[in-house]
Chain A
Amino acid sequence: MVESDRIRKSVDMVAVLTQKDFKLRYRNSVLGFLWALLNPLAYMVILTLVFGLLFRMNIPNYAAWVLTAILIWRFFSIGTTQGLDSITSNQALVTKTDVPRYVIVLSNSAANLVGASLEFIVLFPILIVLGIRLTAYVLLLPGILILEFFLVFAVSLSLSSLAVKYRDFYQLWDIVLQLGFYVSPIFYSENLIPARFRFAYSLNPVTRLIESARGIFLLAPTPSRFDLIVITGIIAAFLLFGFVVFRAREWHFAEEL
């Protein structure tokens, strides 16, 4: 098969499998996609009540500030949780076909990108209702989401390949995400972190993505070129690591499933 054929075939496959993953998510539900919004909105309301009113975070536009971060976090947490399961849940594809294994993970992450994008689109009217003035900076959103997509894909590659052999990863990742929610500046500001922990804290790639998203929507400091280079660098490293782990385990899948 000619190389260009192979690429076209892979692109086709990603597209079709992404559609499949996305459609399956909201199967059998009438409200379907709307549920994906009720959850973050509920979080926003609860966090605003607890930290905006009760514990007084003193951040202007707390509700909008929190909601933006919640959506970035959701993309990461749901994307990686589903990515973790992507190989194991597509057993037939892995044991009976020659579909490139990374394509299975890629389309899973892509379906999550679509989902996250839709959630962000619905964010716009909500921000307006909350009294936020949107500027042209929001056009940078696709860039942030694409960066996050690569992060989710990278993490999913490692997790999915390890999860095939060690089911412990499901539990492990669940714990990591629980921790992650508190170690990311979602409901509190990064400024609250004591100086001596700052560096370790800043290694969290999701933190920078959250900052960037807040930057473009709320005109908190908008991401500088330096910030973007750092984020891209960190994510590239994750991708490299992800592929290395995945390739090492790839050919064992058919046996282990």
Chain B
Amino acid sequence: MLWVFEGKRYSYEEFWALKAVSFELEHGESLGLIGPNGSGKSTLLKLLARVMRPDKGKIRTNGSTVPLLELGIGFQGDLRVKENIVLYGIIMGIPRSEIRKRIGPVLDFAGLTRFEDAKLKNLSSGMQVRLAFSIAMQVETDILLVDEALAVGDIEFQQKCFEKFANFKKEGKTIVLVSHNMDLVKNFCEKSLYLLNGEARSFGPTDEVTNLYLEDVKLQTMPRNNPDLNLTA
């Protein structure tokens, strides 16, 4: 599927979170969004997720989109686990008839079968994360938008995340991944977009873009080693 993003976004007392960012993605290509904190990556992801609308410019997507910006969105502690599975599943775009069928497998995968009727708030936060991810694994969509916020979790959990991403890509689907982990980005994303202060510093094949980012970071953190910089400290 083709994905085109152009333009600007956002003004609050004249602060533009994103300015003149444009890119295109081909079918089956995944995108890594990298850059320092506050550079607009999450904002961009939210725009792609249709959580917000750009003030200027257009977003064109071909295919369904599911945002995975946080795990357990909409979870209600006072409701039972199985009710939450249906609730979360619906929000993730899984049809109601489907989720009902998958309650069992979801609980199995998360290792929470005996808690089906328990109130969600009685589960530990770790259990809730496992549950949320287990439901998210059921998602079927053309484009998956993932924020690094998902990276919390134990090693086993992270492994499962990566497996899911790998399967997803095998099916020719697209992932847009916001991450600070360059290895992860190199592993899953053919192209990358490096954002700096709301502007596109670089867009292109991941290796090139990540190298540029690392270069910039080096320059930032070790100025004394660089004879080209003019310091007056």
Contact = CB atoms under 8 A, between A and B. Distances in A.
Among A24, A93, A97, A255, residue most surrounded by chain B Cβ atoms (within 10 Å): A97
A23 interface: yes
Contacts, number: 66
B70 A98 contact: no
A167 interface: no
A1 B64 contact: yes
Contacts of B103: none
A16 B89 CA distance: 10
Interface string A23-38: 1100110000000000
A97 B96 contact: no
A255 B51 contact: no
A96 B70 contact: yes
B205 to A, nearest CB: 30
B218 interface: no
A236 to B, nearest CB: 28
A51 B64 CA distance: 60
Interface in B32-78: 46, 49-53, 64-65, 67, 69-70, 73-74, 76, 78
Contact of B52 (A23, A90, A251): A251
A255 B12 CA distance: 9
Among A15, A95, A96, residue most surrounded by chain B Cβ atoms (within 10 Å): A96
Interface of B: 12, 46, 49-53, 64-65, 67, 69-70, 73-74, 76, 78-79, 83, 86-87, 90-91, 93, 95-96
23 contacts: A1-B64, A8-B95, A12-B96, A13-B91, A15-B96, A16-B86, A20-B76, A23-B79, A23-B83, A24-B78, A90-B74, A92-B73, A92-B74, A93-B91, A95-B51, A96-B69, A97-B69, A97-B91, A98-B51, A251-B52, A254-B51, A254-B52, A255-B12
